[in-house]
């Protein structure tokens, strides 16, 4: 339900369904595992994720806080329209970088 890929110093996590239930649990664990290995530059690729529930929003914000505390950051790439709208309405996009494509998300780490 979630794939994990490494691109240089960046870890890309890609949920393959809505960020709820088991998929949310797996994503949370994958982020925790990455941080435990001192991999603090994370991209959550939402290409295949049609929905992020409130627990998913909380997990993204908490993960961003932890990444920042450890000297890294978490960004979101390629959210579907509904997810993008949810991020805007809830203010998540003010705390977590949201990028329309993977190239833009990767470029954000070069700054």
Q: Which of 89, 36, 83 is nearest to 56 (CA)?
A: 83
- Count of the separate structural domains present in the chain: 1
Q: What CATH number does the domain containing 19 carry? A: 3.30.750.24
How many CA atoms lie within 13 Å of 42's alpha carbon, on the beta-carbon side? 33
4 band by pLDDT with thresholds 50, 70 and 90: very high
DSSP 8-state code for residue 101: S
Nearest by Cα to 104 from 63, 71, 76: 76
The length of the chain, given as a count of residues: 111
Rounded to the nearest 10°, the torsion over CA 59, 60, 65, 66 is 70
Look at residue 111 and tell me whether its pLDDT is greater than 80: no
Q: What does the DSSP 8-state code read for residue 5?
A: E
Q: Find the mean pLDDT for residues 77-87.
A: 97
H or E element in which residue 13 lies: strand 10-15
Which domain covers residue 50, as residue numbers?
A: 2-108
pTM check: above 0.85: yes
pLDDT above 90 coverage of the chain, percent: 97
């Amino acid at each position: 339900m979630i794939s994990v890929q490494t691109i240089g110093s960046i870890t890309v996590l890609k949920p393959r369904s809505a960020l709820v239930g088991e998929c949310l649990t797996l994503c949370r664990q994958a982020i925790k595992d990455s941080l435990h290995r001192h991999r603090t530059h994370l991209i959550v690729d939402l290409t295949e994720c049609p929905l992020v529930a409130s627990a998913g929003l909380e997990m993204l914000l908490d993960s961003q806080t932890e990444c920042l505390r450890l000297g890294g950051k978490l960004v979101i790439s390629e959210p579907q329209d509904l997810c993008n709208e949810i991020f805007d309405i809830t203010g998540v996009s003010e705390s977590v970088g949201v990028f329309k494509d993977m190239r833009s998300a990767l470029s954000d780490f070069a700054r």
